[in-house]
């Protein structure tokens, strides 16, 4: 990637992994749509940092569970005439022990699936024409990167609904990779634990620290992954370096699955 106008949308990029991916691409001169649902202050701060790093940034509010919002997010990239990458990073969950079957309601399932599975589908549908234009411009397939989770592979995670939504996203990645080739590649990244404020917000500072230590001790590499660690893989799949990869479900968990 260089300053020749690499263009991308990153949903849910106000903070955490999405913000880390935005910064990596901005340092390479990319033009980016930074999206947020409710964290406007964090999104603007991320955008400012990305601009300082050399990126051209547009900030757009939108909830990917709403099809109209997905179209509005993509419309922000329309002046560029194309997209080289769509990174579906927006996600949500509810922290409920897997054995507590009364802890999740129908509304919980519908909300989590709406953001984590339906949202990426709607974003791909809205962005398809720009992604195909990007492929024709570059002479290689454009890229969709779905940020999934190890939860969708091994059945662990914050709740049963979250596990199910990420399993659905992984399966959908395969279907879309077949359906959108050869102009669009579709891959998924499945992080394990990521050391971000997301865990602290969901579990509290003390429990988040215990989880961090437990994860590091339990991984083959004795590491707790940072957002930047995983963003490197996301950006690899988004960029031309991975031009011969599609339909891959890539685990990034410091070897915890071993």
* Enzyme catalytic residues: 162
Grouping H, G, I as helix, E, B as strand and the rest as coil, residue 41 is helix
Rg of the chain in Å (alpha carbons): 17
C-alpha distances in Å from residue 122, one per residue of 49, 109, 204, 217: 28, 18, 33, 38
CB atoms within 10 A of CB 131: 29
Element (H, E) at 68: helix 67-75
- Interatomic CA distance for residues 13 and 37, integer angstroms: 9
Please, are residues 26 and 237 in contact by the beta-carbon 8 Å criterion? no
Whether the upstream peptide bond of residue 140 has omega within 30° of 0, thus cis, is: no
Q: What is the dihedral of CA 242, 169, 122, 105, to 10 degrees?
A: -160
Letter string b/e over residues 60-79, b meaning 16 or more CB atoms within 10 A of that residue's CB: bebbbbbeebbeebbebbee
CB atoms within 10 A of CB 28: 15
C-alpha distances in Å from residue 30, one per residue of 51, 58, 83, 195: 10, 11, 11, 26
């Amino acid at each position: 990637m260089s300053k020749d106008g690499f263009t991308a949308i990153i949903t849910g990029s106000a903070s955490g992994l999405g913000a880390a991916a935005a910064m990596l691409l901005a340092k390479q001169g990319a033009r980016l749509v930074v999206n947020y649902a409710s964290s406007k202050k964090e999104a603007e701060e991320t955008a400012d940092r990305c601009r300082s790093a050399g990126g051209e940034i547009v900030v757009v509010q939108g909830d990917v569970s709403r099809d109209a919002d997905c179209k509005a997010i993509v419309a922000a990239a329309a002046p560029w005439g194309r997209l080289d990458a769509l990174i579906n990073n927006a996600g949500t969950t509810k922290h409920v022990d897997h054995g507590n079957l009364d802890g999740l309601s129908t509304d919980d399932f519908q909300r989590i699936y709406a953001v984590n599975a339906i949202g990426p589908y709607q974003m791909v549908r809205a962005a398809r024409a720009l992604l195909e234009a990007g492929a024709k411009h570059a002479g290689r397939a454009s890229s969709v990167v779905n940020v999934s989770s190890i939860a969708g592979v091994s059945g662990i995670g914050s709740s049963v609904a979250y596990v199910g939504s990420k399993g659905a996203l992984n399966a959908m990645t395969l279907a879309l990779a077949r359906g959108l080739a050869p102009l669009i590649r579709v891959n998924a990244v499945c992080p394990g634990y990521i050391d971000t404020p997301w865990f602290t917000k969901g579990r509290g500072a003390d429990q988040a620290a215990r989880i961090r230590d437990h994860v590091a001790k339990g991984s083959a590499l004795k590491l707790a992954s940072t957002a930047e660690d995983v963003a490197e893989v996301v950006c690899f799949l988004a960029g031309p370096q991975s031009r011969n990869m599609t339909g891959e479900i890539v685990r990034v968990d410091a070897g915890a699955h071993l």
